[in-house]
Structure 1
Amino acid sequence: MRVVTVRRLLVAALVSGGLVAPAVVHADTGYLTYSCDLPLPVGPTAFEVGAGTNAPSTVYLGTGYTPTLKTLAKIPKDLAKLAASSLDAEWVEGTIVSNLTVNGAPMSVSQKIVKRSMPADPSGPVEVTALAALPRLAPRAAGSTTYLPGDLEVTLKFTKANGSSAGAFSNLDCHMPSNSKQVDKVAFAKSPSKVSPSVRYSKAKKKVTAGAKVSATSGLVPTGKVTAALFKGTRKVRTVTATLAGGKATAVFKKVKAKGGYKVVFAYAGSSTVNGSGASRSFTVR
């Protein structure tokens, strides 16, 4: 990273409105370097930044999630020392506008830099955090959303202990590096499901009551049908199809009286938002 160390040039840049540059990268890729246009005589300067979202890897159909875009920007040590010592800056805040590309379409996201204190004598870069909510993801079909980085526009505002301005870097253009990575990619898919079976045999009534409780990882209450097949050994005796209500279905098999081992095999067919699944439960008629 190239750092401007000449105090006179740093002062000139701050007074004329120069600024720090955060980049947009996937959280797992670490920091990348953006080139930011500080006013002359300083000119283009490199800053380390990193970004990502808190979105899960998969958002299930029929549900929703509002991700947060988080950008971390490191104010170089020399610039931080200038702001803290020469300008008496006690606090820093501001905005970062990230020009993303989302599924091929441009999207500008204005992030607010969380106000933080400035060290009196910085021993290294001072990191600031900028946050903003991205549009809610509410998928209705399988697919994905990909967030790609773009150029940034950054504004840093420094304030003194009494609340008065200590200077600002306003609307600096920061250019995306050629080795940038995607910010994030979120898949849209049906939710996995699980069938929890139960079987109750009434010897007096010669009746089997087979229950299936279906749950979805997404938290949705599954809908659709469950098929229960009764087997005696390897021979299928009969099949009953029941409709889920509140995530539960019941199948009844009558005239089950032959002694021996039985098994009920349950199959949930799935729905437009939940994948199918199955389970089985064995019992013995004595």
Structure 2
Amino acid sequence: MTELCQGPDPELRKPVLDVPRGAVDTHFHLFGPASRYPYAEGRDYTPPDATPATARALFDTLGIERVVIIQASVYGLDNRCQLEQGPAIGLPMRAVVVVPPDESEAELARLHEQGARGVRFNMAFAGGLPPDLLVRYADRMRELGWHIQIMLRPADIVALEARLAALPCPIVIDHMGMIDPAGGVAQPAFQALLRLVRGGRCYVKLSGAYRISRQAPRYPDLAPFGEALVEANPERMLWGSDWPHTHIKHKPPNAADLLDILGDWVPDAGIRHRILVDNPEAFYGF
């Protein structure tokens, strides 16, 4: 049986950062109840329940007014938990779903009506997809006006850089590409990520800091990476909490700290507004 992972930090704390009106959290999940939304076999972890009410309390505390809900790997192709429960949060919502490459046009149209604007391509966790399917997905995403959100490892960025740059639809890289800060900003994977961002078709989520750094709560070893990404193309940066912070063994972060590091990396309030409001508003079609 897959081990039950810990829940998020229960403390609701306002960030020090002055969060602008219309701010968007572009990356969070809902989980459970398992009796209604069973988890996929062969998953990497089993999360505790994360409910719409708990999520709404968090967003109200943080000053988040719009959200993008992301299909989690533990649900496989079953998008029901995110799409059925997400509206109960009561905020404007978009979604990123997981579908087979041969999904019907009718089902994709139905998902679009429910707020889906992209498909998640997970190469990092159990049940992930092979990179050979990227082009097949991308052709369909282009027709829909959707994007591909990719969860991958640093070695994948190097190996797939040319293929990613040539895809006919926009792509979003999860969690800063899972770059290891110990390798420095000159490491090949991060330089490849910067090239993709400068090319204009690749967005990066400034999220998941707690997954790749242990220097909580402000993760100073990631500052050079965040600063370099923003400098490379601030119009292609997005922010996400990654709540409820599953599948980690160390102490979970407080979501307020994950917003406050944006203030550390991006001292310019105008650029922060772009990352938190303007970029996601345009990209997800709020």
TM-score range, shorter chain: under 0.3
More helix by share: 2
More strand by share: 1
Larger RCO, structures 1/2 (Cα 8 Å, 6+ apart)? 2
The structure with the largest alpha-carbon Rg is 1
